[in-house]
């Protein structure tokens, strides 16, 4: 059992990637009560945005130069897709039946996947993603893989930026007001249509950073990569209390840790030997989702529904 600290760190790193993507679900839901199920594909396009920058750069560019540019590429592509989705897919349906945006989201997801599959060069199977060099790094008994170093830095930085934005800037305050009471926010002078666009865009920024992290961690990007990761991130958002931005990150960390621990240790329990290993990891993630929905549907940090005005 002395590998426990290692598993814990693995879980938290995986979870912080879930958390980065979960922020997009939770922000959009908090503002317009819409589950943007195409968010996983927005994440995926971010990954291809980063890859595209790498492919355009002259061969032999070091990652320390390339990586910042790749992040910018990922952010540009993902926010463009997200803003486009809001403007042309979701906004026309606002005020309509609640099922309409959900169906649209599924259609949009498939369209984005197929577009990348069909048009991105050689994307019919996974494409290799450039890797950081150096490492791995050892801290005591714990090893941090080179690819994970990015997450270790990016996740806390992203959370700090987000907290500052939401609490300390005028637009952030307008965003909180819109989430709590959109009509009254308008009376205060908040342009709520603009706030909705910003929520989509900001969610895409964090998803794009998450996609770069994914590429560095797994060494590939893939037109399907947004499906499962999107579902996990959505699970994280629900786990943390959907609508709560800190909850999204905490939900991600809990989910990543629980999934990693279950994968590593559940087969040590007598009678459950068959349930160990990576192939069961996703099962544990969704078992956790079902448990949360059953016993604490408002999530870890969520308010009870009655508290929402």
Partner 1 sequence: MTALLEVEDLRIAYGKIEAVKGISFKVEAGEVVTLIGTNGAGKTTTLRTISGLLKPVGGQIKFNGRSLRKVPAHQIVSLGLAHSPEGRHIFPRMTIEDNLLLGAFLRNDREGIAKDVQRAYDLFPILGERRRQAAGTLSGGEQQMLAMGRALMSQPKLLMLDEPSMGLSPIMMQKIMATIAELKAQGTTILLVEQNAQAALSLADHGHVMEIGKVVLSGSGQDLLHDESVRKAYLGED
Closest approach of Cβ 188 to partner 1, in Å?
A: 5
Q: Tell me whether residue 118 or residue 188 sits nearer to partner 1 (CB atom).
A: 188
Closest approach of Cβ 223 to partner 1, in Å?
A: 39
Closest approach of Cβ 260 to partner 1, in Å?
A: 33
Q: Please report, as ranges, the residues that interact with partner 1 according to CB under 8 A.
A: 170, 173-174, 176-177, 180-181, 183-192, 303, 307, 309
CA dihedral 299, 305, 308, 309 (to 10 degrees): 170
Q: Tell me whether residue 158 or residue 190 sits nearer to partner 1 (CB atom).
A: 190
For residue 221, the cross-strand partners are: 127
Closest approach of Cβ 54 to partner 1, in Å?
A: 42
Q: Tell me whether residue 131 or residue 184 sits nearer to partner 1 (CB atom).
A: 184
> Which three-class secondary structure string do you get for the chain?
CCCHHHHHHHHHHHHHHHHHHHHHHHHHHHHHCCCCCCHHHHHHHHHHHHHHHHHHCCCCCCHHHHHHHHHHHHHHHHHHHHHHHHHHHHHHHCCCCCHHHHHHHHHHHHHHHHHHHHHCCCCCCCEECCCCCCCCEEECCEEECHHHHHHHHHHHHHHHHHHHHHHHCHHHHHHHHHHHCHHHHHHCCCCHHHHHHHHHHHHHHHHHHHHHHHHHHHCEECCCHHHHHHHHHHHHHHHHCCCCHHHHHHHHHHHHHHHHHHHHHHHHCCCCHHHCCHHHHHHHHHHHHHHHHHHCCCCCCCCCHHHCC
User: What is the CA 124 to chain-centroid distance, rounded?
Assistant: 23
Cα–Cα distance measured from residue 279 to residue 257, given in angstroms and rounded to the nearest whole number? 16
Closest approach of Cβ 280 to partner 1, in Å?
A: 39
Q: Tell me whether residue 181 or residue 282 sits nearer to partner 1 (CB atom).
A: 181
Q: Tell me whether residue 79 or residue 178 sits nearer to partner 1 (CB atom).
A: 178
Q: Tell me whether residue 109 or residue 192 sits nearer to partner 1 (CB atom).
A: 192
Q: Tell me whether residue 1 or residue 187 sits nearer to partner 1 (CB atom).
A: 187
Q: Which two tokens stand for residue 122?
A: 């050689």
Closest approach of Cβ 187 to partner 1, in Å?
A: 5
The phi and psi torsions of 143 (rounded to 5 degrees) equal -110, 130
Cα–Cα distance measured from residue 302 to residue 292, given in angstroms and rounded to the nearest whole number? 12
Closest approach of Cβ 176 to partner 1, in Å?
A: 6
Closest approach of Cβ 186 to partner 1, in Å?
A: 4
Q: Tell me whether residue 11 or residue 174 sits nearer to partner 1 (CB atom).
A: 174
């Amino acid at each position: 059992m002395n590998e426990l600290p290692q598993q814990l760190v693995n879980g938290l790193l995986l979870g912080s990637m879930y958390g980065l993507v979960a922020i997009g679900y939770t922000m959009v839901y908090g503002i317009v009560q819409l589950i943007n199920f195409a968010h996983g594909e927005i994440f995926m396009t971010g990954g291809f945005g980063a890859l595209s920058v790498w492919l355009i750069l002259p061969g032999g560019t070091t990652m320390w130069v390339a990586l910042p540019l790749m992040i910018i590429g990922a952010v540009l592509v993902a926010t463009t897709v997200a803003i486009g989705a809001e403007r042309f897919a979701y906004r026309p349906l606002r005020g309509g039946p609640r099922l309409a945006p959900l169906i649209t989201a599924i259609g949009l997801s498939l369209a984005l996947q197929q577009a990348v599959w069909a048009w991105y060069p050689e994307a019919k199977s996974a494409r290799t993603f450039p890797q950081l060099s150096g490492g791995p790094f050892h801290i005591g008994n714990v090893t941090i893989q080179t690819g994970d170093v990015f997450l270790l830095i990016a996740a806390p930085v992203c959370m700090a930026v987000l907290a500052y934005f939401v609490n300390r800037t005028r637009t952030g305050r307008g965003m909180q007001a819109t989430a709590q009471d959109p009509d009254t926010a308008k009376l205060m002078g908040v342009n709520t249509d603009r706030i909705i666009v910003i929520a989509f865009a900001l969610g895409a920024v964090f998803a794009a950073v998450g996609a770069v992290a994914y590429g560095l961690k797994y060494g590939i990007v893939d037109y399907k990569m947004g499906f499962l990761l999107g579902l996990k991130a959505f699970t994280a958002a629900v786990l943390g209390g959907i609508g709560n931005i800190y909850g999204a990150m905490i939900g991600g960390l809990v989910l990543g840790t629980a999934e990693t621990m279950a994968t590593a240790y559940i087969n040590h329990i007598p009678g459950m030997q068959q349930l160990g290993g990576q192939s069961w990891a996703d099962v544990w993630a969704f078992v956790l989702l079902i448990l949360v929905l059953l016993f604490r549907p408002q999530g870890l940090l969520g308010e009870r529904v009655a508290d929402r005005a």
